[in-house]
Amino acid sequence: MCLGYALCNWIDYGFYNLPTSTLQWRLPLAVSMPLSCLILGVIMFMPESPRWLVQVNQAEKATATLMALKNRIEIDEAISIEMAQIESSLENARQERTSLMSIFSKNKEKLGYRFFLCIFLQFVQQMCGGNLISTYASTIFQDNLSLGVSLSKILAACALTWKFLSCFVSYIAIDRWGRRAVFMISGAGMSMCMTCLAICTSFPSSSHSASIASAFFIFLFNSFYPIGFLGANFLYCSEVAPVRLRVAMNSVSTANHWLWNFVVTMVTPVAIENIGYRYYIMYAIISASIPIVVFFFYPETMNRNLEALNNTFVEASTVFEVVSMARKMPTQEIEDDSVDGSAQDGKKNLEEKEYA
């Protein structure tokens, strides 16, 4: 997604310098077609979800997929246990069929709470200012900072290229620091950047120093945003949703994501023109709420077994206990000792890690 935004802005700048004609907008639109076809072709070679394969009675393929995902050469006890947990979870889901409306009723699985976790995460993904910077970076440089059209387009393309490069931090951090950490670091950093951007753009556009500072905080914002909100938010929603409602919850939360994307896209030009720097204060406040809400309500899901995590939601007496209970859950970082011939040690390690 970030690479697409960056390419869009560089292509926009390139075609801006062409003589005025319909090619200025026709060719940029056509550029996206080969990439869409590439994605369509690659999808055909992606493995199916192990849970879906078990659901359609293809247990052998599900086992093979799990082995590939966990880099196992042969079926070991860890794979067997996880397959059994998946089958048990799906069987329970078949016996307890519920509709999406059950989210809004009181139940032991705390479906409403889990639905809130998904909805809020996708809401702040748009309302923290990420889409504002991605879509209207050149407008901010041009209208707020009174820079030239050509320079504004170059700076916007550079800012989004930097955002793409910053995505690699998330790739490393998400399975090292945990989901909660990346959300809180990202939210705190974005709030700071939006606060500073509001302060800098409150000065007259003739202030050269304020313009430089504003550009700096736009780039810095694009360093923090990808850490927690360019992939981790979608991953987390699939991890906290129960199996039988995973598709429904993810569908609604993703629709909510694009709804606020539409709102930001439509409102931003009017807001920048009418309220100026005050517009960024709203994003600063929303971003500041992310670390607080995540700290108290979002359980860690990194290296947690999804079926065991579902039991944690059930066993917690209140939503305030879920985070602390999830923190005490053992992880799934089980080493495959069969590679070095120490099968007995592998079994002992598995028993220590298994969720009781």
240 shares a domain with 168: yes
85 shares a domain with 232: no
293 shares a domain with 200: yes
Measure the CA–CA gap between 13 and 23, rounded to whole angstroms: 13
Q: Which two tokens stand for residue 193?
A: 């950047």
CB 178 within 8 A of CB 300: yes
Measure the CA–CA gap between 252 and 115, rounded to whole angstroms: 9
CB 57 within 8 A of CB 94: no
No. of helices (H) and no. of strands (E), the chain: 16, 0
Query: Could you report the per-residue pLDDT of 57-107, keeping only the tens digit for each?
Result: 888 889 888 888 888 888 888 888 888 888 887 877 777 666 667 777 777
Judged by phi (left if over 0) then psi (alpha if -120 to 50, else beta), residue 302 lies in beta
The chain-wide mean pLDDT, for the chain, equals: 84
Query: Could you report the per-residue pLDDT of 160-189, keeping only the tens digit for each?
Result: 999 999 888 888 888 889 899 999 999 999
Using a cut of 0.75, tell me whether the model's pTM lies above it.
Answer: yes
Asked whether the predicted pLDDT for residue 338 surpasses 60, the reply is no
8 shares a domain with 115: no
Measure the CA–CA gap between 209 and 207, rounded to whole angstroms: 6
The reported pLDDT for the residue numbered 307 is 76
168 shares a domain with 42: no
What is the CB neighbour count within 10 angstroms for residue 52? 14
Q: How many residues does the chain have?
A: 356
Q: Predicted confidence band at 109 (pLDDT cuts at 50, 70, 90)?
A: confident
Q: Could you give the number of structural domains in the chain?
A: 3
Residue with tokens 């939006």: 194
Q: Predicted confidence band at 344 (pLDDT cuts at 50, 70, 90)?
A: very low
In a domain, 276, yes or no: yes
In a domain, 350, yes or no: no
The reported pLDDT for the residue numbered 98 is 64
Supply the range of the domain harboring residue 125. Answer: 108-307
The reported pLDDT for the residue numbered 175 is 86
Task: Output 248 or 216, whichever has higher pLDDT.
Answer: 216
